[in-house]
Amino acid sequence: MTSSVLRLYPQPSLEEPLEGLYLGHDLRAAAPTEHKAYVYSNYVTSLDGRIAVPHPSKPGLVVPDNVANARDWRLFQELAVQADVLITSGRYLRDYAEGRAQEILTVYNEPRFADLVSWRKQRGLSARPDMAVISGSLDFPIPSALTQDGRRVSVVTTRSADPERVKVIQDQAGSVLFAGDTTVTGESLVEALMSAGYRIIYNTSGPKVLRLLLASGMLQRLYLTTTSRILGGSPFSSIVEGDLLQPALDFKLNSLYYDAHAPDGASQLFSSYDSV
């Protein structure tokens, strides 16, 4: 995977290699201060704005195979290795335990990502970013595979959570963070993660968690891969779900790249936006 992409913004336009593209954004340096969290997220969408479609044989939604691709996945991994902690959900752990989800960070299993392992090592970071799992029910196991290499898996929940389930999770993962009395908000989530020592936070969860972060003004940067392919169908699943955001949130373009080498001849755009 050595072909380049065309940078359209910022100007001037020029060819840049795909590998290392988002490492060059150096998010750890982009964080404004040592005492404020830097929260970012990333999604791959179709041209008609879909990030997920119904699973062909099981309940729930999945990222469409005809939208996901290895070039976007490379950039997802580059964003992941820069984080202190990856936000995910209880649903992800349930799917992982049932063999329906892969490790979010695959750089340790695939030789083509060896440079990303070195990137963290050279900066004195832990072997893997930790994981933070948002859940109210706590109805999932903590797979032992996710805690290898000293990785910490913290579960973020409310103070009203079932104390027996909290004890089980503590025995499995060793860390339960409380964010709010009855509801986790974006602000309480980020505060809980900062109290645990995390500053560079990558949201890898779905549209509901993104809405929490947006509604509380916690998201600093949004990455989007937009493939030039229209899917249609229902239900419609976009990057954010729930009630209208009041007021609407403004972002400004940070970067834009044109990728003419997407699979099957369909081009795609890699873009990023900063909150205003």
pLDDT in tens, 175-229: 899 998 898 999 999 999 999 999 999 999 999 999 999 999 999 999 999 999 9
CA 195 to chain CA centroid, Å, is 20
| Least confident window among 64-73, 92-101, 148-157, 210-219 | 92-101
Q: Residue 77 contacts by C-beta under 8 Å, 6 or more apart in sequence?
A: 105, 106, 107, 113, 116
pLDDT at 245 over 60: yes
Helix or strand or coil: residue 64? coil
**What span, in angstroms and rounded, lies between the C-alpha atoms of 204 and 157?**
17
Tokens describing residue 96: 């992982």
C-alpha of 78 from chain center:
11
Least confident residue range of 38-47, 115-124, 221-230: 115-124
Beta strands in 100-211 (DSSP E): 130-134, 153-157, 176-178, 200-203
Locus of tokens 């404004």: 32
Q: Is 252 helix (H, G, I), strand (E, B) or coil?
A: strand
| Residue whose entry in the numeric block shows the structure tokens 């998201």 | 219
When divided into structural domains, the chain yields a total of: 1
The answer, yes or no, to whether residue 248 has pLDDT greater than 70, is yes
The CATH number given to whatever domain includes residue 268 is: 3.40.430.10
Nearest of 272, 274, 269, 275 to residue 46 by alpha carbon: 269
* Interatomic CA distance for residues 89 and 188, integer angstroms: 16
141 Cβ contact list (under 8 Å, min separation 6): 93, 97, 172
Domain of residue 225 covers: 4-275
Q: How confident is the model at residue 127 (pLDDT cuts 50, 70, 90)?
A: confident
Among 41-45, 159-163, 256-260, the minimum mean pLDDT is found in 159-163
